[in-house]
Each structure stands twice: as structure tokens, then as C-alpha cells.
Amino acid sequence: QESPHIYSKEEVRSHSRPETGIWVTLGSEVFDVTEFVDLHPGGASKLMLAAGGPLEPFWALYAVHNQPHVRELLAQYKIGELHPEDTTPSTLETSNPYADDPVRHPALKVNSQRPFNAEPPPELLTENYITPNPLFFTRNHLPVPNLDPDTYRLHVVGAPGGQSLCLSLDDLRKFPKHEVTVTLQCAGNRRSEMSQVKEVKGLEWNTGAISTARWAGARLCDVLVQAGHQLSEAEAHVCFEGLDSDPTGTAYGASIPLARALDPAADVLLAYEMNGEPLPRDHGFPVRVVVPGVVGARHVKWLGRVSVQPEESGSHWQRRDYKGFSPSVDWDTVDFDSAPSIQELPVQSAITEPRDGETVESGEVTVKGYAWSGGGRAVIRVDVSLDGGLTWQAAELYGEEQCPRKAWAWRLWQLQAPVPAGQKELHIVCKAVDESYNVQPDTVAPIWNLRGVLSNAWHRVHVRVAP
């Protein structure tokens, strides 16, 4: 066996530009990843941050890389070893950027610890119409910033001829306080069902990347108007920047159309309260955006800056993620610029009780779940089948009545039905219909997409009936 090529740190460092090729190290190993840069699922620019040096400080932040398939992929690009004197133990190079994250509720099902991503278990999710704060699903891309409410400032860039604002929490509280019940759903909710069809890139969310809270704060439209903004700026977008950032200072960002932001009826909030309390740290303390009817990714937490621009936010999460594609598009053919960013979500429902694989009593079965649609479209009906979709019964909807076109929050639903005598198993299915008569697709395969977003097929649960 040949002895491996030995490289010095300096040699590695000199390979940090396209002209020289891109090298990185992990532990004592050296990799030439030039060919991989443009294929990186997290974007070429992110990978380039580590060019010519160790991956550890970055991978400590994006724990998505701590998976065997990522290590195997990297191994293909190995070209040699680092000189022993240049190999520093990785523990010295990585202070844990997540050390200051808050303590979380033990009931949460954790999909990723760093960054923290977790969902309430289904049986708790529909216990309450309003999700208790400690159980609200959490989707973080980065460490949770620890912000001082006294020195916190929100920067709002003014319109030409208008004035820029620098608002403290107290300033924000002086705007009329507006309260609204809003369901927030991640685009990746129910992704685990998509990855059963074919592998997708992303966290394995079950049915719990959705929760509901009463949010209170200033209306974004009131703040924008004070900064001089109006609808005359054609095709404009409101861009939000979070105060959570990676080691290079890249912050989480997203945008929504200005027309939605300025429409008082759209109820877009700069929220500082969640269920009557200050926002918990995981949910954006002290201020986050709440955009009713719109995908969770645009509800920017730890809000630091608001600006109005002719184009959408340039953020990775606006331009290179949270978009839908045909099932035939793969990572070699995907053109992110060809698809619009996800804003309003499609109609959704899921069964939270009974659980898949459970054994239910004979006689009568109780089926429970949630239903919601994006864009304020009210859920008008939830159909439940006990025989895999041959026959249907309408479930009873409960929870807050929702106004047509402003149905920002979910309905919970329940069906109590006799179990036909002699039945050994039930194939329980649910599907919701919204006020535009949008329905859910019956199967996942035709809506499969490489990122595993917008997973809203009929939800199916298979149970045995106790003899």
C-alpha cells in the first residue's frame, strides 16, 4: 500500500480559490473538493467559507454533516494527510456555538440538536387548540442569539424621502397593539413521508412541524408607513434579517411581497408576545415577524433589520431553499432560479390519534387531527375514511371559528365512528378541503421533490383492532 501524500497547512491554505482548486481538511485528512463546490446542497458560497482550511468550525455549526453519507461523500475526495505537526485536535478548534442555547421541554421529539429542531409528539399536538409555548415546534438554522431587551434595536430602512427608524422594544410597544391567532407550519412538515418514497435532503419531520399561538405586537404596515413606505414601489419585497448568524456574520434572512406587508387585512405582525408572554428565546425573543397564512420560513425570528427592495431577499433560504420542484428534478438538474419562493402553503391535514401501528379497541374508534390551509383559506371540511379511502365520513371541526379569506389558524377535528364488526384492521385516512375547494393529493409520489417540502398528501394510519 502506498503511503499517503503528506501536506502542510500552508499548502492546504494555498488552495482556496477556483484557480488553485479548493482543498479542505477534516481531522488529519486533506480533501480536494474542487469538483464538489457547485454540487454542495448548502450552496457553493457556504462551502467556500471553509476553503483552504478545516471544516470543523463550520460543521460544528451545521450538524447536518454529522451523518455517514456525508462522510462517505467527502472520503471520495481525499488526496492525503496533513503533516502531524499541523494537525490540531478538533476540540481545540471548535468552541461549541450552541452552548448558550436555551433549555427545552423534554416532550419534544428532537430531529436535530445543533441547530435545534424539534416537534411536539402527535398526541400532545392536538391536546390544545393553542399550542403551549414549551411545546411549540422549533425550527432553527443557527445558534439561538442571546439578546438584551434593553439594548435591542430594530432597524427599519426608510423609503426615499422617508425616514429610517431605529426602534427599541418600548418604541415598538407604542404602535397600536394587534393580536391574532396564527398557525405556523414549516415547509418541511411531514417530510418523513416523502423520504419513504425516495431520499430527500432535509430534517425528518413527522406531522408536528406545525403549531398555533396567539401572537401580539405592532402591525408591520404601521411601522412601514411610519418609515415612509407605500405601495407605489412596484413589485417590491420586504426583506427581513435575523440577528442569528454563522461565524462569517451571515444572518438568517427572508422576504415577503410588499403588498402583503402593507395590507392591514393581512395582519402581518412584528410580534413581541406569544400566548400572552414575551417570546421565548427559541421563538425569536424579543421580536419576530409573523406572516399569517405564509410558510414558516418567512416568519423571521430575532428580527434585526427590515428593508424594502426591488428584489426578494438574497438570502440562501429565500433563493436556494424553500422552493418546490417536479419529482423528476434532481440535484444535478435543479435550477433554483426557475421556481418561485414558497409563500402561501397548500391545504394540509393529518391524523394525530390513533398512532400508526397502534391497536385500537373494537366497538368504536376516535380519530383526531388538525387541518389548515395557507393564504387565509378556511378549512370547510375534513373527510375521514376507515377503509383506505373507499368510503368517507365528515369529521367534526372544533377550535376557533375562522373567517373566510382570513383563516389564519388551524381547526382541530375529531371523528367517533363504529368499527364494523369482525374488522381486524383499519386503514384510516384523512383529507381536508379549503374554501377554494383545494384538496390534498391522494399519494406522495407525484408531489415528491428533492428538498422534501410541501408534503400534504392524504395522511394514512394503519391500526389493528383488538379482538
Segment interacting with ligand HEM, rule: CB under 6 A, options 57-65, 213-221, 306-314, 379-387: 57-65
Confirm or reject binding of residue 63 to ligand HEM (CB under 6 A).
no
Site for ligand MTE (CB under 6 A): which residue of 24, 154, 186, 407?
186
Q: How far is the CB of 265 from ligand MTE (least distance, A)?
A: 23
Residue in 186, 221, 239, 430 annotated catalytic: 186
What residue 138 binds from ligand MTE, ligand HEM, none (CB within 5 to 8 A, per partner kind)?
A: ligand MTE
Confirm or reject binding of residue 300 to ligand MTE (CB under 6 A).
yes
Confirm or reject binding of residue 302 to ligand MTE (CB under 6 A).
yes
Residue in 139, 191, 319, 459 annotated catalytic: 139
What residue 325 binds from ligand MTE, ligand HEM, none (CB within 5 to 8 A, per partner kind)?
A: none
Segment interacting with ligand MTE, rule: CB under 6 A, options 125-133, 222-230, 300-308, 389-397: 300-308
Known catalytic membership, residue 114: no
> Does the CA dihedral 201-203-206-208 come out positive or negative?
negative
Of residues 62 and 137, the one with the C-beta less far from ligand MTE = 137
Known catalytic membership, residue 152: no
What residue 139 binds from ligand MTE, ligand HEM, none (CB within 5 to 8 A, per partner kind)?
A: ligand MTE
Known catalytic membership, residue 65: yes
Site for ligand HEM in 164-203 (CB under 6 A): 201-202
Known catalytic membership, residue 139: yes
**In degrees to the nearest 10, what's the CA dihedral of 445, 451, 452, 454?**
-100
Of residues 59 and 129, the one with the C-beta less far from ligand HEM = 59
Known catalytic membership, residue 129: no
Of residues 23 and 285, the one with the C-beta less far from ligand MTE = 285
DSSP strand pairing (237-245 vs 210-219): unpaired
Confirm or reject binding of residue 70 to ligand HEM (CB under 6 A).
yes
Segment interacting with ligand MTE, rule: CB under 6 A, options 84-92, 293-301, 366-374, 408-416: 293-301
Confirm or reject binding of residue 33 to ligand HEM (CB under 6 A).
yes
What is d(CA 370, CA 125) in angstroms, rounded to the nearest whole number? 9
Site for ligand HEM (CB under 6 A): which residue of 65, 288, 459, 460?
65
Confirm or reject binding of residue 120 to ligand MTE (CB under 6 A).
no
Segment interacting with ligand MTE, rule: CB under 6 A, options 153-161, 296-304, 336-344, 409-417: 296-304
Binding residues for ligand HEM, rule: CB under 6 A, are 24, 33, 36, 40-42, 46-47, 49-50, 55, 58, 62, 64-65, 67, 70, 73-74, 201-202
Binding residues for ligand MTE, rule: CB under 6 A, are 136-142, 184, 186, 242, 244, 252, 282-283, 296-297, 299-302
Catalytic positions, written as ranges: 40, 65, 139, 186, 322
